Amino acid sequence: MARGYFVYRFSSALSSSSFPRLNDRPRGVCGAVMVRNSLERLKKLVMNCGVPAIALTICYLLVKDKMTAEALSQLPDKVGAIPAWAWVGALAMTIASFWSVGRYDEVGHLYFRTGIPPQQARTTGAAAIALGQFIGFALVTSALARWRLLPEFSLGQALRHSAFVSVCFIVSWVALTSIVCVLLPAPDWAFWPGILGVVVTYALLFTLFFKPSLRFRGRAVHLPTLRHSANLLLWTTIDLTTASAALYFLLPPEHGLSFLQILPLFLIALGAALVSNTPGGIGPFEVTLMAAMPHIAFGDLLGSLLAFRIVYFVVPAIIAGLVLLRPFTAFQRPVRHDEPPSLADAPRSEVAVIRQNGGKAIHLLGAKVAIWPTGQTMTALFDPISGGAPSLMHGLRFLGRQHGRIPMVYKCSARIAAGLRYGGWSVLHLADDAVIDAPHYDTNIPARRTLRRKLRAAEKAGVRIELTPAWPWAELARVDAEWQARNGMARGGTMGRFSPDYVAGQWVALAKCEDRVVAFITCHQSTQEWCLDLMRSTSDAPDGTMHALVDTAIKHADGAGAARFNMAATPACPNPNSAFWRWAAVQATAFSKTAGLRQFKSNFAPQWEPRYAAAPGPVPLILGLCDVAREVIMPPPIQQDPGLTSNEPHNVDADYEVASARTA
């Protein structure tokens, strides 16, 4: 059916046979359903028609004494008396306002990941909102306009998109109006509601950061990211500021108010229009402004408001109607056939952490990267699997824009960090990896004398290391549960958490004492490197048990041909010459309880290699690191990627810098 008959399709969708029919129900149930449906329809009718009718009636009663035939007959002269420069200024501000209005839809399409090109999204959004504010019933009207213009959209998608834009606009309006009423010369009564609105805004931002997704009926509902929210607030600010400027140009010259006085009045009047739900906000918007500016003659102010309606409502609606005559052609999305990069030959086996935290290995503008999406970031874990810093930097910027998240690199090498710093990114030294040269590993050197003592203690206690493909999962789960009871919940993100599906793809070693499992470790594997992941032990594990397990793992890594054995990271001091950074490093070590972990790793006399975090600026870097810390401390449920085979390196923690536990 031709897309032009969208009204017919809307009515057909509502009468679709997919809706339950009363005739299919028992007679008693049928009556109850009819009553309930009638009440629901009555409620909707009152809300959609009753409230606007009451609002219009109240507005009429408030101005009926001034709304004389003489005042109405003078309206054309009042409008005609507005100078040409004022019309031009108001029209320019209207264009700027609707330029920003279209950006709401651009953010919405990025949020829903529809793949609609930005130009189509902006044009569709501006046209839909122009029609919605002129005709009224904006949710349905704008949805039908979007459905008409975008062949890819179903009616349900259009309604969902319109609801998203409407809710985001209202929330942004609350935030902007609250800030304006607190900071600018607004009516006295608006100050404390403004304070309340600012508090609610901050509470919402904290919610978006700490709860980026909510569970609803068993499904995860992802909230807009902070970057999306900031963009929406920015475009709302531009939209409403320029709209109020359009009105300011059209006011009578003798109004005597500055623009900073007009802006809060305009926002408050807009709020009255939104609450009333009248078509285009007509009535409450005008009455609110008349009450706020009683010193302006009624006829003069009414003429200015009528001119504003013409410039800001009628002209955009006419243009939107012309846009509707020619819908966009269906957008053909490019189909990619690239296979995800293999992790088996990755220079850093730690990238296998993506097997558990919902990450993906992808091709990104010439680089192959392990991407970990957190609530607010698109984080590239470690060094690229292949490619250099320029490709990584540009690819992450593009990915961040597409997903509304902060582009970030976490735990990269000094070489990649130097390239990112050269590209203008902020870089922070945050951790050190403990790396063993596996082919030259020798316990009989002076630096490993403590290790030799620990190994003798484990041997004397009867600790036996076993490697078997038939893992006793119940025993491993028992050890993990006892370890968590002693040390707290296992952390996530860049940390491995115990689960049979996860551990089954790793190298695993058990420590037994009197035929009872008292500890185990797991390692990530690639052809170039092994990396220590899970370390779990019971409270009665003999001294030196974990040392014996790691010693065995290093020797097996050498036997498998790996050049390096990575014992993972511990916190580092970014700048030892700074008192602040020394204090921060001490606090991070105390919070993550990794002082003993660094001492444990030092027994193996490793080479300490610095690891860095990077983002495009200091503020994004701080927000990104806070978000990574949140994901580690409050991990979501384990996510397994069924598309990856178990013979590839499994997901790994390798980031002990924020682990919470004794390890030996």
Q: Is the pLDDT of residue 10 over 90?
A: no
What's residue 18's pLDDT? 38
Query: By percentage, how much of the chain surpasses pLDDT 70?
Result: 80
Q: H or E stretch including 495?
A: none
The whole-angstrom separation of Cα 382 and Cα 531 is: 13
pLDDT digits 0-9 by tens, 75-95 = 788 788 889 999 999 999 999
- Whether 586 has a pLDDT exceeding 80, the answer reads no
Helix axes 298-309, 226-250, angle to 10 degrees: 130
Q: Quick one: pLDDT at residue 176?
A: 95
How far is CA 361 from each of CA 154, 364, 447, 495, 612, rounded to the nearest angstrom? 32, 9, 38, 18, 20
- Cα–Cα dist 292/86, whole Å: 22
The answer for 605, left when phi > 0, alpha when psi is -120 to 50, beta otherwise, is left
Q: Beta strands 607-615 and 406-412: pairing type?
A: antiparallel
Asked if 615 and 408 count as a contact pair (C-beta separation under 8 A), the reply is: yes
Residues contacting residue 505 through CB under 8 Å, at least 6 positions apart:
355, 646, 647, 648, 649, 650
pLDDT at 361: 87
In whole angstroms, give the CA distance from residue 362 to residue 403. 15
Share of the chain residues as helix, strand and coil, in percent rounded to the nearest 5: 60, 15, 30
Q: How far apart are the first and last CA of the chain?
A: 70
Tokens of 437: 């040269």
Beta-ladder partners of 571: 431
Higher pLDDT, 35 or 197: 197
pTM of structure: 0.79
Residue with structure tokens 């050197």? 445
Distance (Å, whole) CA 658 – CA 664: 17
Residues 398, 403, 405, 411, CA torsion sign: negative
227 conformational bin, left if phi > 0, alpha if psi -120 to 50, beta if neither = alpha
Q: 442-471 burial by CB neighbour count: b if 16+ within 10 A, else e?
A: eeeeeebeebbebbebbeebebebeeeeeb
Contacts of 407 (CB under 8 A, 6+ apart): 377, 378, 393, 396, 397, 399, 400, 615, 616, 620
Kind of pairing, strands 213-216 and 219-222? antiparallel
Contact 379, 624 (CB under 8 A): yes
**Sheet-wide strand order for 406-412:** 360-364, 367-373, 377-381, 406-412, 607-615, 426-437, 564-571, 529-537, 517-525, 507-512, 464-466
User: Is there a contact between 164 and 129 (Cβ–Cβ < 8 Å)?
Assistant: no
Q: Phi/psi of residue 337, each to 5°? A: -115, 15
The more confident residue out of 35 and 557 is 557
Q: What is the pLDDT of residues 437-454, one digit of tens each?
A: 999 999 999 999 999 999
User: Each residue of 314-361: pLDDT tens digit?
Assistant: 999 999 999 999 888 876 665 555 567 777 777 888 888 888 888 888
User: If pLDDT is split at 50, 70 and 90, which confidence band does 425 have?
Assistant: very high
- Tens of pLDDT along 268-313? 999 988 887 777 777 788 888 888 888 888 888 888 999 999 999 9
What are the distances in angstroms from CA 299 to CA 75, 289, 306, 615?
A: 7, 13, 10, 57
- Please state, in angstroms and rounded to a whole number, the distance separating the CA atoms of residues 99 and 126: 7
Element (H, E) at 615: strand 607-615
Pair 346, 531: CB distance under 8 Å: no
Neighbours of 402 (CB within 10 A): 12
| Element containing residue 517 per DSSP (H, E) | strand 517-525
Q: Read off φ and ψ for residue 543, nearest 5 degrees.
A: -60, 135
The DSSP output letter for 23 is G
Confidence of residue 16 (pLDDT cuts 50, 70, 90): very low
Whole-number mean pLDDT of the chain?
Answer: 82
* Per-residue pLDDT band at 502 (split at 50, 70, 90): confident
The position carrying tokens 């030996």 is 664
**pLDDT given at position 497:** 87
Distance CA 28, CA 32 (A): 7
For 458-476, the pLDDT digits (tens) are: 999 999 999 877 788 899 9
Give the DSSP H/E element, type plus range, for residue 97.
helix 84-112
How far, in whole angstroms, is CA 582 from its chain's centroid? 32
C-alpha to C-alpha distances, 551 to 403, 567, 579, nearest whole angstrom: 43, 11, 37
The pLDDT of residue 636 is 75
Q: pLDDT band at 592, cuts 50/70/90?
A: low
Residue 447: both structure tokens together: 């630096």
The backbone torsions φ and ψ at residue 436, rounded to the nearest 5 degrees and listed phi first, read: -110, 135
- Rounded to whole angstroms, how far apart are CA atoms 467 and 507? 9
At residue 132's C-alpha, the angle toward residues 128 and 137, to 5°, is 135
Q: Are 385 and 412 in contact (CB under 8 A)?
A: no
Is residue 47 within a helix (H) or strand (E), and if so which, with residue range?
none
Which residue is associated with the tokens 């991990």? 635
